[in-house]
Structures are given as structure tokens and as C-alpha cells.
A and B are shown apart, each in its own frame.
With several copies, the nearest count.
Chain A
């Protein structure tokens, strides 16, 4: 039921996630994000606008992605967090670790 698609922009790849990210569905997210980091995609923007729920397995997947892009000095940024998703990041004290933006425009605006 979870859908993950990617959209290529000039200077970034947007990963659009649609659905709940939990133990059942996070492997699908992981596959796509790790795939992008293997290709050393410079800027990965994760669109969470359509994610109403994320658990720790989803958060772990994004942390892993962040660590991978860090290895080649790439960026992984998040945008469009619903309140339930934002709460999980806050409770995990990762809201300061990730770059989190309101929407795609603002996330794009921070790219060189």
C-alpha cells in the first residue's frame, strides 16, 4: 500500500513517499534511498507530505540515509512533515539532526 516514487530535478532527486512508514513498509523506503546513496546522488529530498504515520523503523531508515550521504558529502533533507511524523522526530531528538523544511520550495531554496 505504501508508494515510493522518485522525481529527478536539475540538482536533486525528490523521493515522494505516500502512506504509513512502519516495520512492514520501511524496507521499501530503504531500498530506494539506499539505491540513491549508492549512486552518490548529491541532493536527496524526502517528501513526507503524504505520510500520516512513521515509526522508529522509518526514522532509522532516514538516519541510515543521512549517514550514507554524509560519507560522500551529499545532502539528505526532509520536508512536509505532518504533526504525527514531526512528533516522532522530536521524541527521538532527531529534529535538530535532520534538515527539515516546510515544503519542497523551501527545501530546494537551500541547495547551492
Chain B
């Protein structure tokens, strides 16, 4: 999928570089919990409800899991860079990898009517976040921009 919601419609209210928290982690499933704990606390700082916080944390976890499994084909030693920005009205999280360029046509959620294991990650990310934007990096790798705003529906 491409753009969900237009990020320019919700300009980050504060985006000085110094407001950003950046994690550089290896593509090892072990680190997912560290990313979740951090994102979850960031959501608390943003004043999110428990539901907003849980959803955002889930989305970032799913996005990192997908990078590990698809962009890096399961390799555990490749870099992932997660950058979190606290906005006055929510959080913005960008996730960069240096793996295989994604084919946007492949990144889509499947028909949920067919009950089968797998194929839920992209659906979960899209259901929860207000902005979901996949970009191929001009060189190797990809950048995913996620944002969640407070009190959106």
C-alpha cells in the first residue's frame, strides 16, 4: 500500500531534530521488546489512551517484524533504524532498513474472511495508524513513515 492519510495534512507540530529519539538495532527478533517498551512509553508521554498506545506499539512491532522477515529474509545482523518524534498531537515514527527494495504492490493486507495463519501484519498496521507511507530509498532499502494522532475517530 502507499499513502494512508496524507501526512502533510497533519504537519508535525514540533519537529526540531532534538525532539527525536533514534534507535539503531540489529534485525534480531530479540530486540522487538526493547522497541515496544520504548514506543509504548513515548505514547504515554504523548498522552495517548491505552488503546492508542497499544495500537501504535503493535504497528511498530509488526513493521519491524516484516523488515526482519521480508526485507532481510530473516537475517538477524542487519541494521534497522527507528526514529520517534513526539508531536504535540501524537507521535511520528519512521523505520528505515537497508534490505531488499519493497514492491509496493506486494505490501497489501489480505482478505481476512479466509482464516489462515499469517498475512495480518500489514492489515494491523493500516488499521491502527493514521499515516502509513512506504518509500523505497533511492539507494538500497526502505523507509516507512507511521504516525498516530490523538483522538482521531
Contact = CB atoms under 8 A, between A and B. Distances in A.
Chain B associates with chain A: yes
Interface of A: 1, 20, 22-24, 53, 55-57, 59-61, 63-64, 66-67, 83-84, 87-88, 91-94, 97
Given A53-B36, A63-B115, 8 more contacts: A23-B29, A24-B29, A56-B124, A66-B115, A83-B54, A87-B51, A91-B124, A94-B115
Query: Number of contact residues on B: which range applies?
Result: 20 to 34
B120 A56 contact: yes
B117 A88 contact: no
B44 interface: yes
The winner among A56, A60, A88 for most chain B CB atoms within 10 A is A56
A60 B117 contact: yes
Contacts of A84: 50, 54, 58
Contacts of B30: 24
Nearest to B64: A23
Contacts of A53: 36, 57
A18 to B, nearest CB: 14
Interface string B1-35: 00000000000000000000000000001101100
6 contacts: A56-B120, A83-B51, A87-B58, A91-B55, A91-B123, A97-B115
A93 B112 contact: yes
Nearest to B47: A1
Nearest to A55: B61
Interface string B118-133: 1011011001100000
B68 interface: yes
A59 B54 contact: no
Given A64-B117, A97-B115, A87 B55 contact: yes
A94 B113 CA distance: 9
A63 B116 contact: yes
A60 B112 contact: no
B62 interface: yes
Interface string B48-79: 00110011011001100100110000000000
A59 B115 contact: no
B52 to A, nearest CB: 11
A55 B121 CA distance: 8
B33 A87 contact: no
Contacts of A83: 50-51, 54
